[in-house]
């Protein structure tokens, strides 16, 4: 599923894609890596897309849980996993989400 261009997402920002599987947050890091997670923190379903991106993690805006963008796993000592999805960036910067 084509979901736009990497330029549509600011560095250290996120955008939400609405799908039949639910909302998916697409994140762009400062080094232009792109990751896709279910837009729900595994703790209390906080909107990860509204969190703060730093390095390759995002901090949930509700209770400050840190979630690894690569696999959706909570950073210890917290436990849990947000669903993660594969997203590719082609040569023109187009984003392709695999759901």
pLDDT tens for each residue of 70-87: 999 999 999 999 999 999
Rounded CA gap, 31 and 11, in Å? 8
CATH assignment, 2-98: 2.102.10.10
For the stretch 52-64, pLDDT in tens is 999 999 999 999 9
Rounded CA gap, 44 and 94, in Å? 32
Structure pTM? 0.95
For the stretch 8-32, pLDDT in tens is 999 999 999 999 989 999 999 999 9
């Amino acid at each position: 599923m084509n979901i736009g261009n990497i330029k549509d997402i600011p560095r250290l920002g996120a955008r939400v894609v609405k799908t039949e599987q639910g909302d998916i947050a697409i994140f762009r890091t400062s080094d232009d890596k792109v990751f896709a997670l279910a837009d729900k923190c595994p703790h209390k379903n906080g909107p990860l897309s509204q969190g703060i991106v730093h390095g390759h993690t995002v901090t949930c805006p509700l209770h400050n849980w840190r979630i690894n963008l690569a696999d959706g796993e909570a950073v210890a000592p917290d436990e849990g996993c947000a669903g993660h999805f594969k997203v590719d960036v082609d040569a023109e910067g187009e984003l392709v989400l695999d759901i």
